[in-house]
Structure 1
Amino acid sequence: MSARFEPVVFRPLPRPVKPFPQETEASFLDRLAAANAMPVRCLQQPSLWLPSRLDPTDQLSVLSGQPRTSIQHAILRWEKQAWNLPQGPLAATIRWACRRCVARRTGNPDQGVMVWMSKHHDQVCVPDRLWIGRAVESPALQFDLADFPEIVAAQQRHYRLLRRHGPHVLNRCYAKCSLFWHVLMQHGYRISERSQRLVRLQPRPARSVRPWDPKRYAAVYPEIVTTMALYASPYWRRLAMSTDEEDFRAFHAEFTRRLPNESPLRTTAKPWFIQQLRTIAHAIQDAAEQNVLAGDDAAKQLQAFWLRWMSHIPTSRTGRLAS
């Protein structure tokens, strides 16, 4: 007796495509369809009348000619949707992958790949010294940082802080400190290095930089990370929250030592500045305490996924983790 006939709906396409690490499913389908000159809908539903018994992972594996494990590892749709959460300790967002990494992996310098990135922590591709983070709306807007080693070093320091203190504390640190610096500069807090950095990033005659321009974020990124390092430290955070004026003065002195203001703050900005130093410390401390109260089981689950997430952080040319 012959074996039962099982119709095959999916078969390998003529031109296989490898998934990019952390790539979105939609991006991978677009690239696979473009490589084989066919509409995306034909990949998702090859037959209108004959349903497939394969699950989405197997379907994509067969079509792309890649092992199932490669699809599972690279495309995070199947990582329990954890990267899809807009909030939480592993908050992520969809951004353009480093155009140089894409060119190296795919052999196509003009191809764009959308990937899941950390909402707060992936700003620079360290191996390629390219700004890939905030306000980059297309691969063409990713700009070179070869002449700005302090910005690349800030990303490396950011990753070290992330490994040391974890995402609960660092998410809140980045959110609060980046907003703080945006408002602080409007109040007249001046650091010449930041100003010079912005001028070098946007030379004359096209020196006008829009408020949402990625160069503006990159110019102040080292100062943001320096502030994060201060607030991530339980010791300095405790001094900032202290009701003892001597303790708070010690914190204030350390802040101005690391980030010296080169012009006096406006009169109305001085009490706001002092209040913000305390407010930020309390907000970050709340995040740290919520992490402790999350429970042992949840902490273990988070730690397991957290270690896996850290494995996706860009490495240097030597293969070492950016540190």
Structure 2
Amino acid sequence: MFRPALIRPLPVTLPPFPGECESSYWGRLALANHVPLARLRSPSRWLVSRLTSLDILCILSVQSRQHLARTISDLQADDLRPNLPAIPDDHVLRWACRRCVVARTGATFPAQVWAPIHDNVCIRHKLWVGQHVHAPEQQLDLSRTPDVVRAQQRYWRLRRHHGPALIDICEDVTARLWAGLAHRHYRLVHRAEILHDLVRVKGPEVEPDMKAPWLTAAGFPERVALIHMFTSSHWRKLAMHDDFYVSVDSIAKFHQRFPTESPLRGTSRIWLTKTVKASAAEIEYRLGNPEGIATLIAN
């Protein structure tokens, strides 16, 4: 029986990028072959294909079912999915490192991937790919700020050494403290100016919201250092101590690690002392330690 061939291999085939989402791979195949995405997914207006997305992609891309199902995280493959890991809860959809895409697929078409939310830097290509990056062209080159790259490696070591549970708690609890320090002109040395210049050279047409990645990247080493500081159980207990001099000594150590452009005075100084103590107490509380519960109740 004759059956018309509705779907054939594309002239230009591309391998999927590891962790790529299904819609991204469809889009890259369409761009590479200059075919409208709707036409690629439904080649005929009259005949409906009974093939699954996985089957169609196998034909179009000349890739094996196993390779596609293993590489494309959200691809529906009922016959293969039981043997494949699900997308972890701490993964988010974002743009893959634009240089990694070229190196692995041989094409410049950008790919969206399911990646760990904590991976902000591509170590291999020294690009900021994480927070506030909404397009591949916003991935900042960190070659002139190697300490930002090292901060990502340090963050990974912290998660391995202390465990993700403690690091997630410290990162979440210290977010308010970090925002307050930035508002009170916390010193980011020269990194902010360097990364801002990289954004500015793109031209005056760059919108303000596109400058968010440079500011986040500029403070990333200090953000990791702040998380690291609060992982110390000994330091948290000093910050929570009822003895005034012990508490003041812990704040003095905090200032040594995190200097501001000018000394904090008045309400800002009181804010820092209270926020550091409250942050340490909340971490203890979320870890289930009675000291944190008592401190939170007392305050």
Query: 1:2-48, CA deviations, whole angstroms, 9 ceiling, x for partnerless residues?
Result: xx999876543332211111111111110012223323234434455
- Structure 1, residues 30-83: CA drift from partner, whole Å, max 9, x if none? 0012223323234434455444254x4344333321122222222111567634
Flag the structure with larger Rg.
2
The offset of 1:203, in angstroms, is 4.0
Where does 1:49-128 land on structure 2 (aligned, <5 Å)? 49-54=47-52, 56-78=53-75, 82-83=87-88, 90-109=89-108, 111-119=109-117, 121-128=118-125
Residues of 2 paired with 1:185 and 1:203: CA distance?
Answer: 20
Q: Distance in 2 between matches of 1:71 and 1:140?
A: 27
Q: Is the 8 A contact 1:9 1:50 kept in 2?
A: no
Matches within 5 A, 1:1-323: 10-46=7-43, 49-54=47-52, 56-78=53-75, 82-83=87-88, 90-109=89-108, 111-119=109-117, 121-188=118-185, 190-191=186-187, 194-203=188-197, 210=208, 213-243=212-242, 248-249=247-248, 251-285=250-284, 288=287
SS in 2 for 1:95: strand
Distance (whole Å) between structure 2 residues aligned to residue 112 and residue 15 of structure 1: 16
Return the offset for 1:237. 3.6
Q: Structure 1: how far apart are the matches of 2:9 and 2:240? A: 61
How many Å apart are 1:238 and its aligned residue?
Answer: 4.3
In 1, Cα distance between equivalents of 2:288 and 2:49: 50
Q: Deviations over 1:123-176 (max 9, x none)?
A: 111111111122222222212111111111101101111222333333333344
For 1:288 and 1:72, how far apart are their aligned partners in 2? 39
Contact 1:9 1:52 in 2 (8 A): no
For these two proteins, the number of residue pairs brought into alignment is 275
239-248 vs 172-181, greater mean Cα deviation: 239-248
Report the 3-state secondary structure (helix = DSSP H, G, I; strand = E; otherwise coil) of the residue aligned with 2:140: coil
Shift of 1:281: 2.8
For the 8 Å contact 1:170–1:232, the answer to whether it is kept is yes
**Structure 1: how far apart are the matches of 2:113 and 2:259?**
37
Q: Unpaired segments of 5 or more residues in structure 2?
A: 76-83, 290-299
Structure 1, 66-75 or 177-186: larger mean CA deviation? 177-186
Alpha carbons 1:187, 1:266 under 8 Å: kept:
no
> Any idea what SS the aligned residue of 2:115 has?
strand
Amino acid in structure 1 at the alignment position of 2:178:
W
152-161 or 96-105: which moved more? 96-105
Report Cα offsets for 1:200-241 as digits up to 9, x if no partner: 22349x599957621111111110000111123344344444
Query: For the Cα contact (< 8 Å) 1:21–1:75, is it kept in 2?
Result: yes
Letter in 2 for 1:171: D
